[in-house]
Structure 1
C-alpha cells in the first residue's frame, strides 16, 4: 500500500491511496473460506460447496468490503501519523469507470486543512464587562415580596387599593372561564383600579383586557390563555368577585430573618439589605459572565483573520446530513455555521497554545460541586462524601452527561483565562439597565 499527498494550496490537499492485491487478498481468501465452511446451498453438503461457486456468489461483496475497511484504516492512520489538522472528513473524489475486476486500485480523497493563524487577545476596543448590582428599588421590592410570602391574608368586606380580589374572569365567545386572584397593585391605570375599589363579594365588573395589567403576561395566568394571544389582546371580560382579602405583611423582625436565612445569620434590616444585594450579585454573575463570553467570542472572531477552505466545506456539508443537500442548500448552511466554525478553531488554538485541558479529577470535582449545590436547594446541606461520589460516578458514566459537564467546565476555564489575559471596560449597571443595554 502506498499513500501520497499533493497540497493544492495552504487549505486544500488531495491524498492518493494505492492498494495492491497483496494488501487485501489474504484477508479476502480467509473470509471466503469461512463462508464455504458455513454456507448452506441446496445440492451440496455443508462445508463442501465448490470455492468457485462461493467466490461467484460472495467474492465481489467481500472484496469491496475489505478494501473499504483497509482504505479507511489506512487513511485514518495516515492523518494521525502526519498530524494533519483537517476540517470535516476526507471526501472521496469521483472516479469514472471504476473497475472492481482489476487487482490493484487507486483512491483519491480531498482534504480541507485547518488554517494556520495567531490569536491576539490584545484587542483594540476592549469588551465591556458588566457588573450587575441590585439597586435600592430592587432591594425594597425583594423585601416586600419576602414580607408577603410570610405574611397573612385577612378577609374584608370591600376592596381598597393594595388588596387582593378573588373571582372569576369570563368571556363566553373566547371560552374564558377562570378562577383567579388579582393583586390590585398590578392593575394598569387609575380607571381599572377605580372599578375594583369598593367592590365586594357577588359584584361583577366589566373590563377590557387591553392595558388591564402593567404586564400583558399577567393575562396568561388570569385568563388561562396562550402566550401569543396575550399580547395586544383587546376583548371585553366580566370579573365576578368571590372574596376580598388584605395582605398583611410580616414584620421585619428576628423571627422573619431566621426563617429566611437561618438562625442569627441576619439580625438587622441593614444586614438584610446587604444579604439581598450579595445574593443578587451571585445570581446576576451568571448572566454577566454569559454576556461577557458572548461579547469576547464576537470580538475574537472579528479580531482574528484567516481563510477557510470554503468550497471543500460546502461540499462536505452536502454529505453529512441524513438527507443529501443541494449546492444551494449547502452554501446557505455554510453561511449560517461559518462564524461558529471560526470560533471553534480560535478556541481550539487558545486551548492548545495555553495548555488548557480537563482531566478526570477536574471533571469529578466540578460534577460534585454541581451535585452539592442541587442537593442544597432541597435542604440536604451536608451529604456524605460517599453519597456524593456515588452520584458523581453514576452521572459521569453517562457519556452525554459527561460531555455536557466537560463543555461547561472548559467554558469556565476559558472564561477565567480571558479574564486574566484580556483588558475590559468595567461597567456597573442595575439589572434593568443591563437588560435595556443588551436586549433593547
Structure 2
C-alpha cells in the first residue's frame, strides 16, 4: 500500500491511496469467512455454508465494502500521523472515473480532495485592548423592574373608568368606512391590552372609557403585532393579512386593572425573605443590586461579541470555498443551491472563529473535560426545574442522572461541549488581553 498527498495550493490538496491485492485480500478473506459462519441459506445448515459459495455469491459486495473501509481508515490515519489540519471530510475526486473489475486481483488507485485550514497568527495578546463594561441600572430600568415586581404581587380590580395600562374586555365588530357593521364580518369578544397599543391617538381614545362605551379603532394601526390582532379576533395570522378592512367598533364589557402591591414589610418579606428588607430605601437598593447582577451577563456577552468581531476582522485568510461548497452539498443532499449561497458567508464566519478557538486551545494546552460538560448539563437542568416547577429543587443525584441521559443525545452533548469550549477560550482571553473597565448606564449600554 502506498498513500501520499500533493498540495495543489496552500488550502487545497489531493490524497492518493494505492492498493494491491496483497493489501486488501486478507481483510476480504476474513470478512467472507465471518459471513459464512453467520449465513442462513436454503440447502445449508446454519454456519455451514461453504466459503467458496459465499465468495461467488457475495464476494464483490464484500470486496467493495472492505476496500472502502480500508481506504477510509488509512486516510484518517494518514491525516492524523501527518498532522494535517483539514476542513470538512475528504471527498473522492469528481474526475476519478477508474473502471475496475472487482475480481480480487485489481490494483486500485483512489484520489481524494481535501481542504486545508489556512495558516494564521492568533490576533490576541497583551496589547489587544477591550472595554469591559460595568452596567449600572438607570432610573427608567429600575422603575420598570420595581413596577413589574409590584404588579406580580398585585391584585385584580374592576374600575369604572379605564386608564392607560388597563385591560378592556370588549366586543369587537368589523365595520365599514361609515361605521356600519359589515354583514358576515369578523365579530369576537376578547381582552384588549391598552399597554400594547402603539398609536398614541388611539391609546388616548381608550383612556376614560366606561362599561358599555363604544369607540371605533383601526386595529392594524393600533397594534404592530399581527399575532396580537389575530388573538383578539380569534382568527389566524394569515386571516388578519387578508382583512378587507381593519376598522372595528369596540364595545367595553368590563375593565380589568392589576393594582400594584403596596410597599409594605409583608411585600418585602415575600420577595426577599423574612426581615431582609425593612424600608422602601432598602427595597430599591436591593432591586438595584439584583438588576445589576443580571446585567453582568449582558456585559459579558458584549465583551464576548467584541472579541469575536475582533478575531474575524484581524484574521485575513482564504478558504477552499469550492471544496467546502461541494462538501456541504455532499453532507446535506437536500440543500438547494440558492440556500447554500445565501448561508455560505455566515458559514465561513463561523468556520473562521472555530479555527481561531481551536488554535487558542491547541497552543495553550486547554482541555474540555467530561466533568465540566456534565456540570454545565446539570446547571441547565436545574434552571429548567426552577423555571417549570417553582419552589422545587432536584437533588444532586437526580441532576446527575438527568445530565447523563441528556449527554447520551449526541447533538445535545456536542452543543454543551461547544459551550464549555467557548467559555474556556473566553476565560483564557480575559487573562491575556488588556481590559479597560468602564461604567455605563443600561439605557446607554443598549445604544451600543
Residues 1:235 and 1:330: Cα distance change in structure 2 (over 3 Å) = closer
Map 1:30-429 → 2, pairs under 5 A? 30-32=30-32, 38=39, 40=41, 55-93=55-93, 94-100=95-101, 101=103, 102-122=105-125, 126-159=129-162, 164-171=167-174, 175-183=186-194, 188-189=199-200, 192-194=203-205, 196-197=207-208, 199-209=209-219, 211-212=221-222, 219=229, 222-223=232-233, 235-244=246-255, 247-323=258-334, 334-377=344-387, 378-380=389-391, 383-424=394-435, 426-429=437-440
| Worse overlay, 409-418 or 298-307 | 409-418
Residues 1:428 and 1:220: Cα distance change in structure 2 (over 3 Å) = farther
CA RMSD between the two structures? 3.8
The answer for unaligned runs of 5 or more in structure 1 is: none
Distance in 2 between residues matched to 1:325 and 1:195, nearest whole Å = 50
Distance in 2 between residues matched to 1:421 and 1:225, nearest whole Å = 56
TM-score (norm 2): 0.80
Contact 1:315 1:330 in 2 (8 A): no
- Give the superposition deviation at 1:155: 3.6
| Worse overlay, 163-172 or 219-228 | 219-228
Distance in 1 between residues matched to 2:339 and 2:206, nearest whole Å = 58
Contact 1:363 1:409 in 2 (8 A): yes
- Give the superposition deviation at 1:87: 1.4
- Give the superposition deviation at 1:431: 4.1
| Worse overlay, 6-15 or 358-367 | 6-15
TM-score (norm 1): 0.82
Contact 2:205 2:215 in 1 (8 A): no
- Give the superposition deviation at 1:380: 4.0
Q: Deviations over 1:278-326 (max 9, x none)?
A: 2222333333333332332121011022333334334433422224877
Distance in 2 between residues matched to 1:154 and 1:329, nearest whole Å = 53
| Worse overlay, 409-418 or 165-174 | 165-174
Distance in 2 between residues matched to 1:339 and 1:313, nearest whole Å = 13
Residues 1:161 and 1:372: Cα distance change in structure 2 (over 3 Å) = closer
- Give the superposition deviation at 1:211: 4.6
Contact 1:187 1:193 in 2 (8 A): no
Q: How many residues align?
A: 433
Residues 1:203 and 1:250: Cα distance change in structure 2 (over 3 Å) = same
Contact 2:373 2:420 in 1 (8 A): yes
- Matched residue, 2:8: 8
Contact 1:192 1:207 in 2 (8 A): no
- Matched residue, 2:17: 17
Q: Deviations over 1:228-262 (max 9, x none)?
A: 8889x973211212224555432211111111222
Contact 1:41 1:49 in 2 (8 A): no
